[in-house]
Amino acid sequence: MSRALALLSGGLDSGVAAAHHAAGGGHVVLAVTFDYGQRALERECAAARRLALRLGAEWQLVPLPWLADAARTSGAAIVRTDLDLPQGTLSCPGDEASAAAVWVPARNAVFVAVGAALAEARGLEVVLAGFNREEAATFPDNSQQFLDAACTFLRHGTRNRVVVASPTLPWDKREIVARARLLGLTEADFWSCYGGGPSACGRCESCLRSRRAWDA
């Protein structure tokens, strides 16, 4: 019955990770969404708030303006509207180059650390993250190695030894969608586009991975 803080982006992976934890008897006390200047912030917040409400969790938006500055400086297309988002295909939604184009410096490391601080302050034992093995191939901060290192770091960096858990990490997107359906969640419950338009662009890596999984 662990009490958790969920890192909730409004996307498929983090939403399923939080819902899976709750369905297994855990309690999601707080859901946190980060503002790091991303194009999709408004759409992500709307989806994250709805998911938090569904889970009976408090929702909090945490501004990280300095991370937004770092992302703009590094040339991350996910925050810079003067740059084109990389596009792919359903058969090849992304690769090393597309991952590099949207990479935000140390993003998941920052999210985990901030989440752990907020969790420790409330006496929560777990930070939930929506990592997955499909994206771990090109995003190393989605990998088992990253998760293990984060747990080691926080064992020494928090008084109550907060751990990071990611129930979605062993799964690919198709398996995450299958779990979403079992949990009663639909595609409309998430925002999985790098863009922030009135509808998903359908061309970015995140859209294509999501579309391929839901169609399967």
How far CA 119 is from CA of 28, 49, 79, 127, 150, in Å, comes to: 11, 18, 27, 7, 14
More confident residue, 24 or 93: 24
113 Cα distance to chain centroid = 14
Q: Is 27 helix (H, G, I), strand (E, B) or coil?
A: strand
Average pLDDT, the chain: 95
Structural domain boundaries, residue 49: 3-215
pLDDT band at residue 11, thresholds of 50, 70 and 90?
very high
- Alpha-carbon distance 192 to 23, whole Å? 22
Sheet strands side by side (includes 3-7): 58-63, 27-35, 3-7, 126-128, 163-165
Q: In the prediction, which pLDDT does 94 show?
A: 74
Contact 164, 203 (CB under 8 A): no
pLDDT score, position 53: 98
- The mean pLDDT of 75-102, rounded to a whole number, is 90
Q: For residue 5, what are the β-bridge partners?
A: 30, 127
In the three-class reduction of DSSP (H, G, I as helix; E, B as strand; rest coil), residue 32 is classed as strand
Confidence of residue 141 (pLDDT cuts 50, 70, 90): very high
- Token pair 């799964």 is at which residue? 171
Higher-pLDDT residue of 88 and 189 is 189
Contacts of 10 (CB under 8 A, 6+ apart): 33, 40, 43, 44, 45, 46, 47, 48, 51, 190, 191
The number of distinct structural domains making up the chain is 1
CA gyration radius for the chain? 16
Whether 92 has a pLDDT exceeding 60, the answer reads yes
Of 172, 89, 88, which Cα lies nearest the Cα of 137?
Answer: 172
Q: Tell whether the model's pLDDT for residue 1 goes beyond 70.
A: no
Nearest to 6 by CA among 170, 124, 153: 124
CA-based nearest residue to 57, from 20, 87, 18: 18
Task: Look up the CATH number of the domain holding residue 158.
Answer: 3.40.50.620
